[in-house]
Structure formats: C-alpha cells, structure tokens
C-alpha cells in the first residue's frame, strides 16, 4: 500500500488500515510450506486453516503460524475430501492449492465454486477436459484463479520482459524454453527422505516420489511445461492479442530412469522391471497466431545441470540464458555476444529494484516471494490476477497435446481457443509496475 518504505521492521504489504486477507492452505507439503513461510513475512494476511492428509505436515504448519504470533489455524485432512470442509468456512477469502497434480483441477473448481480467490500450483491441469473445466468454472462462478507460476517473477525474466516491453529486441520472432532439471533424486527416494537415498516411488516413497513419478510411467508427454512457457507467454501476450495455435512434439527413447534404478537399486530391484513411457527428451514446437515459434523442451531423467534454457529472439537481437549472453543489432559488435549482466542490471524490474533485497534476504529465493505477493495483492483488490484461468489452461494444455502428437509421429495438434475469441481484444497485462 501507499507510504510503505523499506525499514528494518518492514513487513511486505504493510498498510495501516488495510483489511487482512484470510487464507486457507490446501496442501502443506514442501511447496505449500514454502508458500506459508512467504505469507508469514507479511502482515496483511491471516492463515485461517491448513489442510493436508499427512498430520506431520499440518502440525508443522500450525507451529510456523503460531511461532509468528498468528492465531492457531484450523486443521483439516482427516481424509482426501476434507479440503471441502475448509472451503465451507465463511471467513476464508482465498486459498492456495499445492497438492499432487491429479488433485489440482478438482480442488480449484471446488474452491471457485465456494467463492474463494484461488491460487493454484503448477501444472494446473492434466487433460484438455481439465483445462476447459478451469476456464468454465471461472466463467460460471465469476471467481478468479491465479496459476502460481513463480518463474514469471525470476529477476532475469522480469528484466528481459522489461526489455521486450521497451522493444529492445524488436518485433518478436522466436523463443526457446523448457524444464531441464535432473529429477532422478526427486522421482526416487528411500521412503525416509524426500530426495534420493533409494529407488522407491509410489506407496513405498514419500514426498514427490510418492505421486509424481507415476506420471513418467504412464505418460509420454511434456509433463511440466509451465516454468518454461509461462514467462514466454507473458512476453508474447498469449491470450491477450496472441495465442498458441498448434504444436508438434517428439520424444526420444526412455533410458534415464531405468538406468538410475539399476545403478542404485540393482538389476533385481522390483522397479528395474518398470517400463517408463516418458521419453527422456521431449521437444515441442508451438506456433503462435502472431507468427512466432516456441521450442519447449522437457528433460528430467538424465544427468545434467539445471537450466530452463530460455532464448528470446526478435528482429533486432536476442538473449540466451545459457551463456548469459545478449546480442542487439547496432549496439553489440556485429556477430558477437555481449555479457547479459549489464543489460539485466539496466532493465532490472521495478519490483526487484524496490524489494529484491528483502525478497532474497528473507531466504525465500525471491521469485516465490513475488508470486505470492501478486496473488495476495490481486486477491485483496478482488481483481483479475496477472496469470489467470485462460493462461493456466493454455499453458497446461501442452501436456495432453504433446502426448497426442508424440503418439501420432509428431502430427500437429491445434490448441483450443480457451478465450473463445476474446484473445483478440483482451489487453496485455501491465507487468511493469512496482506494486505486484
């Protein structure tokens, strides 16, 4: 709010006569707890209730709230449907959903039907039907939902978006992005620790390996498109003057997960006989209505350093995250790269300029802080969020569309127009401001 300044006692969102946003947390595993910690840095929210089927997680969440001097939240989670009792609470304004993927859409639908401003973790939906469900439920209820894509708030991404808005790259032509993250120690653990130490998944594992790995068994698709495509969609105004038209996808063979099991669990481990459908590298090419292409990579089963692989290219130059380099015609030497550092500094986003130290210093990685800030500020105002149900649907649709394309030797798949024609007149979101 107005008059906020950065002083030692500064709390994000502070404003004297602000009404507080009452929040319910659905899912307080590793991700939900991270959101909770960022919420507890603010003084404009109350955590009214927390829900998780694992009592050790709700216990931890309650402790975190009360340690910060908050009132003890109500606890839900006696069974998988107890979240509906949380949604029935009249005094909750907004909910954050951070649960296994297969619960996302149904929980978000129930939350919107209950009139709660809804924050939904990525990926939002698993099938085209679920994508439509998010859009239709938003339209039927008039309740807002925001897809909580944190990478849209990464410092370099917002600086590049700032450069895009100032036309530094010229007319946009081509993008690359993806989720390139060695998840082998996320997909397997020993049932005692969340990451690695064994080759179990499903019932015998805990945390993400308990539910996430199964998607690699049953689906050959880009399983996790939004970290890459979310930031690009903001840059090229998807659903706001532009839209995804179609895609083609290809997958390699699948060797990484099987090799990992054999190497760490032995050939005789029962999981050594599991056949993983997910190809190690899945590559999709999207065409947009404005004539750009976007190459999206999904690469989670092989040893490799983390990179979302961004490239943003226009008629006047390009940025590549790998190599941290930029070329701008007429500014950088012809045919040569310039380090991206001084560009990223020069075009640093107003939010990061203002609150970057607080966000990073608070030990919460910055971008997570800003995505939660955008959610809370939008919910307090009751306005549409920066990334809405149409974005959640269009971005998540890459999973089912890539699956069908791969199954059919790269046959092009049309994206549904989730805006039903409104993309032509919807105005680009104003990303470049210092409030949220």
Q: Which residues bind ligand A2G (CB under 6 A)?
A: 150-151, 181, 186, 208, 227
Q: Give the Cα separation of 315 and 319 in Å (integer).
A: 12
Residue 290, Cβ density class (10 Å: 0-12 exposed, 13-18 middle, ≥19 buried): middle
Shortest Å distance, C-beta 426 to ligand A2G: 27
Rounded to whole angstroms, the maximal C-alpha distance in the chain is 65
Shortest Å distance, C-beta 325 to ligand A2G: 21
DSSP state of 221: S
74 or 278: whose CB is closer to ligand A2G?
278
196 or 412: whose CB is closer to ligand A2G?
196
207 or 435: whose CB is closer to ligand A2G?
207
Token code pair at residue 121: 């973790």
Shortest Å distance, C-beta 56 to ligand A2G: 19
For ligand A2G, the nearest residue by Cβ is: 186
Q: Give the Cα separation of 331 and 256 in Å (integer).
A: 43
Phi and psi at residue 201, to the nearest 5°: -145, 170
210 or 243: whose CB is closer to ligand A2G?
210
Closest C-alpha to 175, from 123, 237, 127: 237
Query: What residues form DSSP beta bridges with 334?
Result: none
240 or 364: whose CB is closer to ligand A2G?
364
154 or 327: whose CB is closer to ligand A2G?
154
Q: Give the Cα separation of 149 and 376 in Å (integer).
A: 14
150 or 378: whose CB is closer to ligand A2G?
150
Q: How far is CA 284 from the centre of its chain?
A: 18
CA dihedral 343, 345, 350, 356 (to 10 degrees): 140
**CB neighbours of 342 closer than 8 A, spacing ≥ 6?**
none
Shortest Å distance, C-beta 123 to ligand A2G: 9
- Tokens 């999709």 — which residue? 284
Shortest Å distance, C-beta 336 to ligand A2G: 31
Phi and psi at residue 67, to the nearest 5°: -55, -35
Shortest Å distance, C-beta 17 to ligand A2G: 36
186 or 286: whose CB is closer to ligand A2G?
186
Shortest Å distance, C-beta 399 to ligand A2G: 14
Shortest Å distance, C-beta 100 to ligand A2G: 12
DSSP state of 429: P
Q: How far is CA 384 from the centre of its chain?
A: 17
116 or 227: whose CB is closer to ligand A2G?
227
Token code pair at residue 337: 């790269």
Shortest Å distance, C-beta 82 to ligand A2G: 25
Q: Are 48 and 72 in contact (CB under 8 A)?
A: no
């Amino acid at each position: 709010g107005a008059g906020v300044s950065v002083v030692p006692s500064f709390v994000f969102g502070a404003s004297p006569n602000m009404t507080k946003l009452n929040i319910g947390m659905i899912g307080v595993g590793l991700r939900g707890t991270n959101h909770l910690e960022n919420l507890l840095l603010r003084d404009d929210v109350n955590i009214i209730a927390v829900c998780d089927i694992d009592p050790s997680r709700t216990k931890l969440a309650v402790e975190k709230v009360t340690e910060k001097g908050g009132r003890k939240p109500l606890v839900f989670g006696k069974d998988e449907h107890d979240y509906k009792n949380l949604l029935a609470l009249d005094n909750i304004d907004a909910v954050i959903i951070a649960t296994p993927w297969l619960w996302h859409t149904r929980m978000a639908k129930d939350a919107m039907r209950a009139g709660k401003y809804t924050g939904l973790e990525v990926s939002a939906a698993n099938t085209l039907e679920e994508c439509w469900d998010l859009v239709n439920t938003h339209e039927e209820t008039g309740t807002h939902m925001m897809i909580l894509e944190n990478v849209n708030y990464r410092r370099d991404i917002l600086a590049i978006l700032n450069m895009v808005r100032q036309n530094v790259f010229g007319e946009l032509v081509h993008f690359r992005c993806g989720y390139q993250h060695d998840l082998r120690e996320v997909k397997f653990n020993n049932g005692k620790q969340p990451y690695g130490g064994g080759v179990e998944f499903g019932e015998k594992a805990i945390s993400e390996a308990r539910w996430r790995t199964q998607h690699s068994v049953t689906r050959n698709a880009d399983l996790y498109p939004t970290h890459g495509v979310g930031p690009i969609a903001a840059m090229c105004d998807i659903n706001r003057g532009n839209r995804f038209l179609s895609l083609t996808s290809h997958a390699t063979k699948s060797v990484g997960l099987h090799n990992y099991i054999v190497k760490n669990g032995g050939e005789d481990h029962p999981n050594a006989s599991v056949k993983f459908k997910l190809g190690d590298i899945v590559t999709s090419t999207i065409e947009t209505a404005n004539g750009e292409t976007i190459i999206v990579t999904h690469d989670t089963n092989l040893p490799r350093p983390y990179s979302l692989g961004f490239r943003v290219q226009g008629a006047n130059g390009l940025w590549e995250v790998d190599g941290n380099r930029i070329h701008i015609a007429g500014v950088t030497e012809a045919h040569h790269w310039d380090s991206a550092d001084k560009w990223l500094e020069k075009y640093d986003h107003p939010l990061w300029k203002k609150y970057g130290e607080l966000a990073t210093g608070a030990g919460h990685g910055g971008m997570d802080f800003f995505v939660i800030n955008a959610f809370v500020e939008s919910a307090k105002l009751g306005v549409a969020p920066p990334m809405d149900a149409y974005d959640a649907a269009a971005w998540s649709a890459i999973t089912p569309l890539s699956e069908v394309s791969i199954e059919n030797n790269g046959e092009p798949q049309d994206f549904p127009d989730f805006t039903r024609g409104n993309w032509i007149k919807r105005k680009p979101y104003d990303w470049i401001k210092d409030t949220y």
